[in-house]
């Protein structure tokens, strides 16, 4: 039941073809506080399709999206509630793996943003909804949070 509530809440509806638009990446600062890196129109599609499944791996769905210059792809699975209970009843364990991307030439700040996003995405281990109703992916990579736009803003034109 928890999974169904999470999938149809906020910006994450199971059969909703609209991509999730990254608002910002939040990183903790050494000594306290946080830094926000703007999303620059990064988009995430969490599908309910599994196109590649090896017999020895747990079931997973496909994910894909666009970066400022490149495209990316990978796999994800939702495996239930976290071991340590959360104050948010809609928190679920979300495992992302096998992330890859195209390698069209990009440099400077855009390259740094793309690499930061992909590294953080590959280390995602929890998903929650923000107070505004947007999807938040929690990453083990530098304790980053990938914060996507809330439901009201999900249908912004591409």
Q: What are phi and psi of 74, to 5 degrees?
A: 175, -160
Q: What is the pLDDT of residues 13-59, one digit of tens each?
A: 444 557 899 999 999 998 999 999 999 989 999 888 887 766 666 67
* Burial group, residue 83, by CB count within 10 angstroms (0-12, 13-18, 19+): exposed
Residue whose token pair is 């909804």: 129
134 pLDDT more than 90? no
Q: Mean of the per-residue pLDDT values for the chain? A: 80
- The tokens for 127 are 């998903």
SS3 content of the chain, % helix, strand, coil (to 5): 15, 35, 45
pLDDT of residue 93: 86
Domain ranges of the chain: 2-151
Q: How confident is the model at residue 62 (pLDDT cuts 50, 70, 90)?
A: very high
Q: How confident is the model at residue 109 (pLDDT cuts 50, 70, 90)?
A: very high
CA atoms within 13 Å, Cβ hemisphere of 71 = 4
**CATH number for the domain whose boundaries are 2-151:** 2.40.128.270
**Poorest-confidence range of 27-31, 84-88, 91-95, 123-127?**
84-88
Of 10 and 104, the one with more pLDDT? 104
In whole angstroms, what is the distance from residue 154 CA to residue 146 CA? Answer: 15
First vs last C-alpha separation in the chain: 32
Of 52 and 71, the one with more pLDDT? 71
Quick one: DSSP state of residue 115?
H
1 pLDDT more than 50? no
6 pLDDT more than 90? no
User: What percentage of the chain has pLDDT greater than the value 90?
Assistant: 47
- pTM over cut 0.85: no
């Amino acid at each position: 039941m928890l999974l169904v509530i999470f999938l149809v809440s906020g910006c994450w509806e199971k059969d909703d073809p609209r991509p999730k638009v990254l608002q910002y990446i939040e990183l903790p600062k050494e000594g306290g506080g946080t830094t926000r890196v703007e999303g620059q129109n990064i988009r995430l599609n969490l599908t309910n399709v599994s196109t590649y499944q090896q017999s020895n791996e747990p079931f997973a769905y496909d994910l894909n999206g666009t970066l400022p210059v490149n495209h990316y792809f990978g796999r994800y699975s939702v495996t239930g509630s976290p071991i340590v209970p959360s104050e948010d009843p809609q928190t679920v364990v979300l495992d992302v793996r096998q992330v890859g991307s195209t390698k069209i030439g990009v440099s400077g700040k855009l390259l740094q943003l793309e690499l930061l996003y992909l590294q953080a995405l590959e280390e995602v281990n929890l998903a929650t909804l923000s107070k505004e109703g947007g999807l938040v992916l929690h990453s083990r990579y530098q304790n980053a949070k990938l914060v996507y736009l809330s439901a009201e803003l999900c249908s912004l034109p591409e």
